[in-house]
Amino acid sequence: MIMFKSGDIVKVLIPNAINTGYDYRLVSAAGVGQMVRCTVMNRPYVGVICGPGDSGLPENKIKNISDVLPYSLPAADLGWISQMSAWTLMPPGAVLRLILNVPDAFTPPRTEQLYSFDFNTTARMTDNRQAVLDAFAANDNEPMSAADIQNIARVSASVVRTMIKNGTLLPTDSRPVAGGGFIHKYSDTGTVVLNDEQQAAAKQIISAIDNGGFAVYLLDGITGSGKTQVYFDAAWRAYNSGASVLLMMPEIALTAQFMTRFEQRFGAPPVVWHSNLTAARRREIWRGVLSGDIRMVVGTRSALFLPWQNLGLIVVDEEHDGSYKQEDMGNYHARDMAILRAKIAGFPVVLASATPGAETLKNVADGKYRALRLTSRYGGAMLPAIATIDIREHRPVPYRAPRADADSDGAISDVLARAIGDTLAAGQQVMLFINRRGFAPIVQCKKCGWVATCPDCSVGMTYHKRMGKLLCHMCGRTAPMVDVCPDCGGRASMRGVGIEKIQEEVMAKFPNARTAIVSSDTIASRQSLERLVAKMEGGELDIIIGTQILAKGHHFPNLTLVGVVDSDMGLFGTDFRAAEHTFQQLFQVAGRAGRGAIPGRVMLQTYQPDHPVFNAICSYDRDSFMAQDMAARRAANMPPYGQLIAIIIEGEKESVLQKYCAELAAAAPDLHGGKIMGPIAAQIYQIRNWYRMRFLIAGGETARLQPVVTRWLEKVRVPANIRVKIDVGPQNFM
């Protein structure tokens, strides 16, 4: 480690959105990577020493460092921060902020009044109360501060006050279990014996761990093949050799079933990191990872930014999942940034998926990643038979709708209805899948064609029956339901089908079946999802109807029929990844069927049964489908055979926005072998009353587009009230 002595001028990176580091004077010795306290414009920060000072400022302009903390980021992390910054075009300080994002990590725990939930309360269980109960459950029912309850349950301060007043929340003196609650001694319980295929895969990863050095493995196994147990083997090897291990997964895959499997395998529950933890917990886990006391964490994408010491293995489960792409606070892809980190520090990464993304498949084809395949379901469970239902031939059967103004057209065809009936009669369970929230996506006047749209966004509003309101899925604004057209006085009617309407239809057609729906509106938290999952496992439900929340991770042995109501939905639109994503999603959903002793079947309702996606799914021919899709992308120079950078420019005033975009267009550089498209109106031109324009920069596989974009944007001054968002490798084209 490079050491500096007292009096030396060093560069300190500050965790904020704009900086690349400021110079300070040391008043005691410290090394590169060491955390220090200093002030910027009189505000205190904890920053990180990243090298010798280089500002050339006169001595008297340079401030002293207030305090050197006894903590460091590993040197490899500094390299990671700067390379991640160069790739994503996030300033280095913004990347550091992802790591140093636990503001009170270095202050003693505050002494706030804590509360526990009174489980004996006789008060009625409202939605708010349920949300609070779930917030406690997400933190093992440990006592919480009022601020935590508010943040995690997403309820208002007055809701919390009322619950304190009426005794649902009880003041308590007991502190949360400090640190020790999260620090476990793991062991390999030896309860799992891998089959031959699993063993072969595990052996390769383990030898990579033993040999050390960077390597990427794609654990490519069909649903139910037991990928988890294979990467558990690898995790154990790395952990047992003294390294730290990160198991990264999408939030919706952090299921109770997963936790149980982890505990069975390693003898103690995992340390779990996600966005719904109390401030105290975040602090304890963050510090535990920093000190090296916590060396194994299961978490969502933000767990990548814990202050890891001696990281020796990262597993990215469901590597193709869209949730790894962060889009609000900076734009990074957690899978790719994990690989970058492993490359710099020199350790292996395991990507696991039944439907790897095109980017990953290309890296396998190029010999950069090694594929390990699991071709059969564990324990000999059969793969489900998958078939399409041509909805043009098998029209959905109308049903009797309870609401007079809703159409009763129905969305479930006779073929699917019969299959549901047979499955229920056999005492087995059904899952229906539709990726559309609410009741009706369109509310339209039958006479003049007027459509209810959000006043702040250029999108239509969806009718949500449970809420009894119209909801904008872009900004969350609600409005009363409209019965009479404001333009012509005609009758407004509901069109299209959302998940709530499917439930209505199912209840009308199968009045004796016990049904539940699962979508992000109806499920306040992972805990409420777990309750439904437990009901499903316990046989208390016959039909579970869900959006993509249900597509992953769950293992219901008695679930033998999966029906997808509208399989075509993802195929429309202009996104070049539409076919890939539809394939992945349908394949994941299909993988829920027949995981136990009884074989399952999958029915996909579609208007275009001849689309290559359906041929591929029904014949389990992923490889030729992806090969075809990728050949088309290669011909069009689209990723993964080309690169894209999107620049979204948002402005409150249309004229200012247009002027700035025109100036940028005039200053556009000549891209040798690439092109700049735009400015054009973004697909959704208005969100929350801000107007949006877009440039798209396309270049070849090896082009270095980032520096060109940086220099280009520097040429034109950004006016007030304009936001410029750079998205390297965009996944979302709205």
Q: Could you list the residues that contact ligand ADP (CB under 6 A)?
A: 192-195, 198, 221, 223-229, 261, 378, 555
From residue 117 to residue 156, what is the string marking binding to Zn ion with x (rule CB under 5 A)? ----------------------------------------
| Cis bond before residue 679 (omega within 30° of 0) | yes
Q: With CB cut-offs between 5 and 8 Å by kind, which of ligand ADP, Zn ion, none does residue 261 bind? A: ligand ADP
CA atoms of 472 and 469, how far apart (whole Å): 10
Q: With CB cut-offs between 5 and 8 Å by kind, which of Zn ion, ligand ADP, none does residue 227 bind? A: ligand ADP
CA atoms of 305 and 313, how far apart (whole Å): 14
Q: With CB cut-offs between 5 and 8 Å by kind, which of Zn ion, ligand ADP, none does residue 229 bind? A: ligand ADP
The torsion angle over the Cα atoms of residues 513, 518, 524 and 529, rounded to 10 degrees, is 80
477 binds Zn ion (CB under 5 A): yes
523: which 2 tokens? 């499920």
Using alpha carbons, select from 347, 318, 309 the residue that is nearest to residue 206: 347
Give yes or no for a contact between 692 and 611, defined as CB atoms under 8 angstroms apart.
Answer: no
701: which 2 tokens? 């596989």
402: helix, strand or coil: coil
Give the nearest distance from C-beta 447 to Zn ion in angstroms. 5
Give the nearest distance from C-beta 635 to ligand ADP in angstroms. 33
Strands 325-326 and 22-25 come out as: unpaired
Q: Which stretch binds Zn ion (CB under 5 A): 59-67, 267-275, 475-483, 699-707?
A: 475-483
- Structure-token match 């869900």, residue found: 546
Give the nearest distance from C-beta 490 to Zn ion in angstroms. 4
| CB-nearer residue toward ligand ADP: 227 or 237 | 227
Using alpha carbons, select from 98, 39, 166, 619 the residue that is nearest to residue 338: 98
Single-letter amino acid code for the residue at 349: V
Q: Which stretch binds Zn ion (CB under 5 A): 2-10, 150-158, 445-453, 601-609?
A: 445-453
490 binds Zn ion (CB under 5 A): yes
457 binds Zn ion (CB under 5 A): yes
485 binds Zn ion (CB under 5 A): yes
Single-letter amino acid code for the residue at 112: E
Chain positions 335 to 394 lying near Zn ion, rule: CB under 5 A, are none
Q: Which stretch binds Zn ion (CB under 5 A): 52-60, 302-310, 485-493, 658-666?
A: 485-493
CA atoms of 414 and 426, how far apart (whole Å): 18
CA atoms of 294 and 269, how far apart (whole Å): 13
From residue 396 to residue 435, what is the string marking binding to Zn ion with x (rule CB under 5 A)? ----------------------------------------
Q: What is the DSSP string of 153-184?
A: HT--HHHHHHHHHTTSEEEE-PPP--STTT--
| CB-nearer residue toward Zn ion: 625 or 690 | 690
Q: With CB cut-offs between 5 and 8 Å by kind, which of ligand ADP, Zn ion, none does residue 433 bind? A: none
Among 87, 450, 641, 685, binds Zn ion (CB under 5 A): 450
Half-sphere exposure for 578 (CA within 13 Å, toward CB): 13
Q: With CB cut-offs between 5 and 8 Å by kind, which of ligand ADP, Zn ion, none does residue 487 bind? A: Zn ion
Give the nearest distance from C-beta 292 to ligand ADP in angstroms. 29
Single-letter amino acid code for the residue at 512: N
Q: With CB cut-offs between 5 and 8 Å by kind, which of Zn ion, ligand ADP, none does residue 445 bind? A: Zn ion
State the residue number with the nearest CB to ligand ADP. 226
Q: With CB cut-offs between 5 and 8 Å by kind, which of ligand ADP, Zn ion, none does residue 137 bind? A: none
Give yes or no for a contact between 346 and 212, defined as CB atoms under 8 angstroms apart.
Answer: yes
Give the nearest distance from C-beta 446 to Zn ion in angstroms. 8
Give the nearest distance from C-beta 373 to ligand ADP in angstroms. 12
| CB-nearer residue toward ligand ADP: 7 or 379 | 379
Among 456, 530, 575, 652, binds Zn ion (CB under 5 A): 456
Single-letter amino acid code for the residue at 578: A
| CB-nearer residue toward ligand ADP: 353 or 462 | 353
Give yes or no for a contact between 435 and 585, defined as CB atoms under 8 angstroms apart.
Answer: yes
Using alpha carbons, select from 380, 410, 405 the residue that is nearest to residue 395: 410
Half-sphere exposure for 313 (CA within 13 Å, toward CB): 32
Among 361, 445, 502, 603, binds Zn ion (CB under 5 A): 445
Among 351, 474, 499, 705, binds Zn ion (CB under 5 A): 474
| CB-nearer residue toward Zn ion: 346 or 449 | 449
96: helix, strand or coil: helix
Which residues, 6 or more positions from 420, have their beta carbon under 8 angstroms from its beta carbon? 412, 430, 506, 509, 510, 543, 561, 563
Give yes or no for a contact between 583 and 613, defined as CB atoms under 8 angstroms apart.
Answer: yes
Chain contacts with Zn ion (rule: CB under 5 A): 445, 447-448, 450, 454, 456-457, 472, 474-475, 477, 485, 487-488, 490
